[in-house]
Every structure is written in C-alpha cells, then in structure tokens.
Structure 1
Amino acid sequence: MNATVTAPAGPGAVRARRGGLLRDRDFRLLWIGETTSGFGSTLTSVALPLVAISTLHASTLVVALLTAATWLPWMIIGLPAGAWVDRLPRRPVMLVCDAASLLLFVSVPAAAWWGVLTIGQLLAVALLAGTAKVFFQTAYQVYLPAVVRDADLPEGNAKLQGGESAAQVVGPGVGGLIAQVFGAVTGLLADAVTFLVSGLCLLAMRTREAPPAPPENRTTLRREIGEGMRFVARDPYLRVLTVFGAVSNLTLVGYQAILIVFLVREVGLGAGVVGGLIAATSLGGVIGAAGATRLVRRLGSARALLACEMIGAPFALLIPLTTPGAGLAFMVVGSLAVVAGVVTGNVIKSSFRQTYCPRHLMGRVSVSMQFVNYGTIPLGALLGGALGASIGIRPTMWIMTAGVALSGLVLLAGPLRRRRDFPASPEGHAQGRTAPMMLR
C-alpha cells in the first residue's frame, strides 16, 4: 500500500487540514480517552508495586512477577488476537476491553477493604488486564487509520504519544501522593475510573470504519496468522525493527521491573518521592513526542530513529549511579534521555508501520511484531527480578542499563543505516520512495 493513499475526506479531515487533528471531533475524543486511560495506567504502574510492597510485603521477585504477568498475554494469545481483530469491528473490541479492565481494577480495592487481598489476586488482575490490553492495543492501532487520513498518521501518533507522556508526568506523582495519603489500593480505583472515561469517549465517536472482510473471503485462523508472520519475516525493515524491539524491551523492562524496589529499598525514598521522581523523568516523553516531527524533518525518518537509539539509550547508564540527595539527578537525567528517545522512536515506528503495511494485514502485522517485541517483556521482568534477588538490586541495574545502552546496535544490522527515510511501501524499496513523515 502506498503511504500517500488517503482515507476518504470528510468534515473531520477538512478541520484537521486547517487547524491540526485536535480540531477534529472524533480524533479529539480518541485523544482524550487514551490520554485519560494512560494517566490511569501510570497510576497503576506506581500503585500496583506499592500495594505488593507495602500492603502484602512482597519480595523483589514477586514485584517483578507482577510486571511479567501484565505482559505474558502477548506471548500466549498475541498472534491469534491479531487475526481476530482483523475479523472484528475494532471499536466494540476496545469497548469490551475497557469494561473488563474497569471491573478488574475495582476488584483490588474491594478485596483490600474486605481484608481478603492476596498476591494471587494481584497476579490474576495483572494477567487478565494484560490480556485486555493485547486486544485493545491491537484494535486501537488498526482503528486509528480509520479516524484520520494516512498523511495525518504521524501527527496523530505524535499527539497520542504526547498525551500519554504528559499523563505519565502527572500520573506517577499523583499515584505516589494517593499512596502516601490514602493508601496504594486507592490508586487502582482511580485507574478503574479512567477506563470508564475511555469507554465513554469511544461511544461518543461518530467515525464508522470499513467492515471487516466477509466470512466467505476468510481462510483459516492459522493461515491468517501465518500470513502476517511471513510478511514481517520477509520484510527487511519490519524484521529489523522487530528484533530491535525485542532486545530493547528485554533490557528496558529488566531494570524498570525493579526500579521502584531500587528507589525504595536501595536509595531509601518514600512513596511520594518515588512518584514525583518518576513523574519528573516522564517529561522526557513529552519532549520526545513534541520533538519527533522536527527531528524527522531535519534528519529524515530512518536517521532520526537511529539517532534516538544510538544517542539517547546510553544515558541509561546514569540510573544505577542514583543516590539520595543530589545523586537523584542521575536518575532524572538518565531517565529523561531514555524516555525521550523511546517515545520519539515509537512515534516514528508507529507512523511507518501504519502507512507502510497493507490495510487488510495491519492487525496481523502489528501483532506479529508485538508478539516478539512484547514477548520479551515478561522475560526481562523475570530476569531483572531473579538477578535482583540473587546478586543484588544495584548490580542488576548496571547489567540491564548496559543492555539498554547497546540495544541500538541491532538497527545497524538492517537497511536503515543506508537510508535517510523509511520507504513508502513494500513495493517502494527499489524505487526509493519514502514515507511522508512530515507534519504541518
């Protein structure tokens, strides 16, 4: 599919051309819903480990298992989820996922108030909420091109990533404050409310996507899954991005799974300070989303991605140097640079995939990549937790952040090092056509 093909232009498309996508009603609703949901997810990223640490006195390995359980569904049902999403209308799938997540996160404070909360329930909630996220995220990535024109996908991805990053600035601080004043379980109740907001925004949207392929045009589920996997495996760009994502996520999550344990038990910080510190470092995501367009204009999409990973990632080596007082600056500076690079890279990669892949394969291609990318996340969490329990938390932080610093070298094994921009379509490799990654 050529990246210059656009969706049918309607009133929303005209408003988007005149004043940016936030003037488009449906995109604005999607942005509000996803930013609110992202805010809730950042509350949970702080609240869930704190519930395990402070309420249930969990070990380092158990805290890491919570992260692993959240991402394990990508390994279990990721591939069939992509084929199912390609067969189903995406907005109803997203609504069901929002409703399920709301109920799951309400169950934790309810169990805590009744005095029956256990580690087993926390693990079950993390696993089931992660399952809902598999379907929601796959459907969401396929649904976005139905809401905006192809040419506006980079802007849409940048705004959605920027909103999520802004929520991450506020969320951890609020999560830490809620945990300190009201108790960590209350933060999970706040997350449940954000799924309600997300669902209401989806219900209010007027965009109607094209119907999925009729049943008579479908093959078996196994064949559809194989089609998506083969497309990724044979494409030199998608293949290297998939391997890079797997290596990067393994090391990123390896240290992030024990980061709160590191800050609480090794550095000696309280819940409120931990939340504020993570909020401060999340500003890197806002910076990355805001600067993605400018960086692509200056360097080109392929070179911009390489710059993010080769320059930003090595700053991760500052994080294990964190100590109380002035030494907290190592955490802030290191995490700011890493997060900025990750978010900028995500904007570039998402926009490329959404314009580059044939529309009828998008769900399966996305989930095939995510199956490998996200499949290493629970492995990274388990590795971080196991090493932290056996050799110590700070040595483990050094090992994992060194892996983050070196992960960008994977990108040099593919064709990106020879190009300024990503190609516009699979057929455009030889002709040298490039995807329009420029925003207004």
Structure 2
Amino acid sequence: MTSSPPSLLRDRNFLNFWSAQAISQFGTQLGRLAFPILAVSLLGASAFQVGVLNASATAAFLLVGLPAGAWVDRWIKRRVMITADLVRAVAMAAVPLLWWADALVIWHLYLVAGVVGVATVFFDVSYQSIVPILVRREQVSDANSKLEATAQLARMGGPALGGGLLQVLSVPVLFVFESAGYLWSAVFLWRTRDQEEPHRVEDRQRLAREIGEGLRFVVRHPLLSRIAVCTAMANFSAILMFTLLPILVLRELELGATGLAAAMSMGAAGGLLGAVATPWIAKRVGEGTIIPVAASVEAASAALIPLSILAGSDWLALASLVTAEFGISFSALAYNIMQVSMRQRVCPARLLGRMNASIRFLVWGVIPLGALLSGYLGGAIGIVPTMWISVAGGLLAALPVLFSPLLGMKTLPDSQEPEPLRKGREQGAGPPVHRRRR
C-alpha cells in the first residue's frame, strides 16, 4: 500500500504561494470593478470605448502570448511572477496619481490596462506552470482546487469590499488598494522557495522552434485540442456579453455601482462552491464528464443576463443577474479545475510554459477581438441583442467537448504522452467514441 501525500495545509512553502495568489486575486478583483466604473461613470465612456478598454487589457495574450511561454520555460517562474506583480503595482498606482493631477483621460486607462495585461500574461503562464514544481504530481488537483477556491473568495469579497469603499471613497482610490495587493503578492512569492533551475543556454533552440514545439503538443493532443477549441469559443462569446455588462447594469437597469458589485459578489459564491465541490463531484460522475457538462451549464446560465431586462422590478433584475453569475461561476470553476489539472498532468515539465502559453494564446487571444466586436455591436444593434448572440455562441462552444471521449470518462489521463483516449478507456471511460474533426 502507498501512503497518502502530506496535506498541503501543512506545507509552508505552498502556503506562502497560496497567500501570494490570494492577495493578488483580491487586488485584481478591485481593479475588475474599478476599471469599468471609472470609465463609464467618471469619464463617460461609450460602448465602443468600453470595448477598446477590455481589448487593451487582453490584447497582450494575442500579441506576446506565444513568445512569453518560450521565455518562461527558460527562466525561473517564481521570479517572473514577482517581476510581473511589481510592474502591475506601479501601473495601477499611476491611475490615482493622474486623477489627483486632474489629468486622467480615457487613453490613460487604455495604456494602464495594456501594461497590466502584458505583465499578467507572464504572471499567468508562470502561475499555471509552477504548481507541478511546488507540489507532488498527485497533489496537483488538490492544489488547483484550493487556489481556485481562493480566487472565488476574492471574486466574492473583492467587489463587495470595492462596493463598500465606493460609498465613502472615489473610484480612483480603488486602484491604490489593487496596487498594494500586487506588492504584498510579490512579498509572499519572494518568501516561496522552489528547486527550479533555468534551462542551460546550450540546450536552447531558436525561439520560433521552441514556440512551435508547444503549439504542436496542444494541437496534436486529442483532448487538449478539443478543450482549446471549446474554451476559445466560450471566451469569445462571453466577452461579447461581459464587455457590455457594466452598461447594462449601470444604464439600462439603473442598478448603480452597488448593484454591479452585488451581482459580481453574490454570483461568485457559485464559483467558490464549484471550486470546493469539484473533487467530490469528480469522484461520482467522472473527472472527464465534468468538462462537457460544466461547459453546457455555463452556456445555459448566461441566458439569464439578457433576460434580466424583462424583469418587472430592480430586485427581480438583480436576482436574475445573481442567479446567472452563480451558475456561470460554479460551472466555469468545475470546468477549469479539471481541464487545467489535466494539462499539468499530461504535459512534460520542459514544455509546461509553452503548453500553457499556447493554450492561453488560443483561448485568450480571441478576447480582445471579441471585446472590440462587442463594443461595435453594442452601438450598432443594441446591448441586449448583442448579449443574445453571446448566448448562442456559448451553446455552440460546448459541442467540441460534449461530443468527445470526455463524456463518460471516469479518470483523466495522467501521462506525459498524448494518448489520453487509450488511457481513458483503460480506466473505465466506457466504449470508444467516434473522434470527429480530429
């Protein structure tokens, strides 16, 4: 018999990393609330300008996502995360300084969002690649579950804290709190220790060749490729809706900043519950099955957001938004925990950065394009019709994983070779399913 791995709650090194992630997430959620409210309420941003702002924040995944993965594989990932936190702290601090100088205009927000986006690319690629370095392979799913639970606590508490602060403080002051959060995250990352060594210079290949190796691993993997397609389509559809959500809540429904914060906070409770419940659900319905089921539930829940416009009262509209956020967050967290854990388990250590960067390029690179399209459609055909297009796109996004061997798979593959279909059948995934499109 093999002994169970020690609890991560007793691992001081993981606890330092976990603390850094928690603090950074709270700072990020304050910014997620502050950016659109500052743009819409104080600077009078139009739907298109809000779309450009969201595009600026995510364009880095499209522009530097692939080379970032190759660079992260060459460097010490923890040091990359510390540097990214410091860059984000400085960039966020610039917003209140410009406001106090009475010089803040919308293009300043575009610039700050772009700088933060570049730093976030390097932080996120490193973050998703360092977990298998800090913990044992059999602890990866548990570590991801804890990290995602904290992220959801931040999603729930961050907007609530921001909403409370907005009752006594002005919006730009929220950026001060976010900047401080990134600084504290850097401190805890500095206290974290790892055994990672940088790749030897003589082992490095041309950057384009290393990037291509990571892309080929994702595209040729029979399950990762389907997950990448599903996630990219879902992200493109979701950004059509969530780019316009602040305008829907603040202008169409007239629920105010407090209403937007309440919807984000209460809805995030679903994400927290999803993060905590996913390991339990996986044991009963199957690790692979969670992925297509969660993708379908997330798409269906999104329909409640445009339906909120039909509510007869503010309370019913807010209830519709909260229910939608709850369902979206619960299913999204279950989806992410299982698919990220699988990525970390099946990928060779030397390719982790490039694999994660390749997937981020594919699934986040569509977001700035979707944000720009959302801003255009919001002005051309209206907020609610654009959101219904988003709902339809989300339902289509679930098809690549719904019609795949993941449905019915009890245990996800735990191999560094791209043979999950064979392994899944050996572990009780049921009869083979016809592989479409691949």
TM-score (norm 2): 0.92
Aligned-pair distance for 1:430? 6.2
Task: Give the SS at the match of 2:64.
Answer: helix
Task: Give the SS at the match of 1:209.
Answer: coil
Aligned-pair distance for 1:32? 1.3
Pick aligned residue for 2:183 from 170, 175, 196: 196
Judge conservation of contact 2:297–2:328 (CA < 8 Å) in 1: no
Partner AA of 1:334 in structure 2: A
Change (3 A) 1:171 1:434: farther
Task: Please name the residue that 2:41 is paired with.
Answer: 54
Distance (Å, rounded) in 2 between the aligned partners of 1:233 and 1:157: 24
Task: Please name the residue that 2:140 is paired with.
Answer: 153
Pick aligned residue for 1:236 from 222, 232, 244: 222
Aligned-pair distance for 1:427? 5.3
Change (3 A) 1:420 1:433: closer
Change (3 A) 1:107 1:434: farther
Judge conservation of contact 1:266–1:394 (CA < 8 Å) in 2: no
Stretches (4+) displaced over 4 A: 433-436
Pick aligned residue for 1:353 from 343, 350, 361: 343
> C-alpha offsets along residues 35-70 of structure 1, whole Å, 9 cap, x if unaligned?
111111111111111111122111111112111111
Pick aligned residue for 2:156 from 169, 188, 212: 169
Distance (Å, rounded) in 2 between the aligned partners of 1:34 and 1:142: 14
Change (3 A) 1:345 1:434: farther
Distance (Å, rounded) in 1 between the aligned partners of 2:408 and 2:317: 40
Task: Give the SS at the match of 2:413.
Answer: coil
Partner AA of 1:27 in structure 2: F
Task: Give the SS at the match of 2:407.
Answer: helix
Aligned-pair distance for 1:397? 1.7
Pick aligned residue for 1:227 from 213, 216, 219: 213
Distance (Å, rounded) in 2 between the aligned partners of 1:431 and 1:46: 45
Aligned-pair distance for 1:435? 11
Judge conservation of contact 1:241–1:411 (CA < 8 Å) in 2: yes
Q: Which moved more, 1:291-300 or 1:408-417?
A: 408-417
Partner AA of 1:201 in structure 2: F
Distance (Å, rounded) in 2 between the aligned partners of 1:430 and 1:390: 45
Task: Give the SS at the match of 1:416.
Answer: coil
Task: Give the SS at the match of 1:117.
Answer: coil
Q: Which aligned pairs between 1:22-171 and structure 2 lie closer than 5 A? A: 22-171=9-158
RMSD: 1.9
Change (3 A) 1:334 1:30: same
Task: Give the SS at the match of 2:166.
Answer: helix
Aligned-pair distance for 1:434? 8.2
Q: Which moved more, 1:308-317 or 1:102-111?
A: 308-317
> C-alpha offsets along residues 381-408 of structure 1, whole Å, 9 cap, x if unaligned?
1122111111111221222123223321
Task: Please name the residue that 1:11 is paired with.
Answer: none
Runs of 5+ in structure 2 lacking a partner?
428-438
Identical columns (%): 35
> C-alpha offsets along residues 66-91 of structure 1, whole Å, 9 cap, x if unaligned?
11111100110000000000001111
Distance (Å, rounded) in 2 between the aligned partners of 1:249 and 1:429: 25
Task: Please name the residue that 1:10 is paired with.
Answer: none
Aligned-pair distance for 1:148? 0.6
Judge conservation of contact 1:244–1:408 (CA < 8 Å) in 2: yes
Task: Give the SS at the match of 2:196.
Answer: coil
The alignment status of 1:305 with 2:296, answered yes or no, reads no
Change (3 A) 1:212 1:59: same
